[in-house]
Structure 1
Amino acid sequence: MKIIRLILGKLILLLNAIFSPKPQQRAQEDQQRINQALESMALYQFETCPFCVKVRRAAKKMNLPLETVDAKQPDNEQALLNGGGKRKVPCLRIENESGEVTWMYESNDIIHYLEQRFT
């Protein structure tokens, strides 16, 4: 089973690289504003998780350079468990101006949130 997951994971990454979406173009000042807003966000993910790939592809298409955090690393996994309460990916960590942190799970919810906020 581990070998099948490894092969499928590498296949997903290969297909993602081949069929990578083109980023949305926007004015430089708009992109800088978006980049600054994204500094308060991080996507906890596994590299070969299909749902994580889905979120990364959507972010790339919207030209949103999200920070990605490998949730398999022990420190990152613990931060995910402590903050979000689950070891589930993808998970978007959102910190607002007052320092309050929200942990958003589910790829479709994350994509919908990013579309609503940045497009």
Structure 2
Amino acid sequence: MKPLIRLFFRTVRVVLSPLMVLGDRLTTPAGIEHSAEEQARVNEAVGSLALYHYQACPFCIKTRRAITRLSLPIELRDTQRDVARREELLQGGGEIKVPCLRIAEADGSVRWMYESDDIIAYLQERFGAAGAQH
């Protein structure tokens, strides 16, 4: 019975994944427009961030959409297709779970933030309208 259930969910994932990715691409939100100077500051600040994700994960899509809305050029690391990135996530964050935001702090330490809502709240606080002055 277990193999049959696995086959069912694998089939659902194979059918729905392309539709989710297409839907995301067709409905991508517009980003915030920053002045050139402000965008340069944002670009520098996000240099210490990387998002580990799967292309068709609904929570990853939600997180990437927030990143797009905030006009953040955060490096995306696909842990489903890139074994080295998956291993980095496991070694650094302790588990293979996406989305995960890798935050390199100014003191050299690295923080791994899981959960899409936490990641979005962090990015909104740091780079949203209220946090844009940083």
TM-score by length of 1: 0.96
Stretches of structure 1 that go unaligned for 5 or more consecutive residues are none
Partner residue of 1:95? 104
Partner residue of 1:26? 34
CA distance in 1, matches of 2:60, 2:14: 16
Partner residue of 2:92? 83
Deviation >4 Å, runs of 4+ = none
Alignment of 1:103-118 (within 5 A): 103-118=112-127
* Residue 3 (structure 1) shift: 2.5
| Bigger radius of gyration | 2
Stretches of structure 2 that go unaligned for 5 or more consecutive residues are 1-8, 129-134
Q: Indicate yes or no: 2:32 matched with 1:42.
A: no
Instruction: Give RMSD over aligned pairs.
Output: 0.8
Secondary structure of the structure 2 residue equivalent to 1:39: helix
TM-score by length of 2: 0.86
Q: How many residues align?
A: 119
Structure 1 residues 53-105: Cα deviation after superposition (integer angstroms, max 9, x where no partner)? 00000110111111000112221111101110011000000001121100000
Partner residue of 1:4? 12
* Residue 37 (structure 1) shift: 0.7
- Percent of aligned pairs with the same residue? 44
CA distance in 2, matches of 1:118, 1:10: 30
Partner residue of 1:68? 76
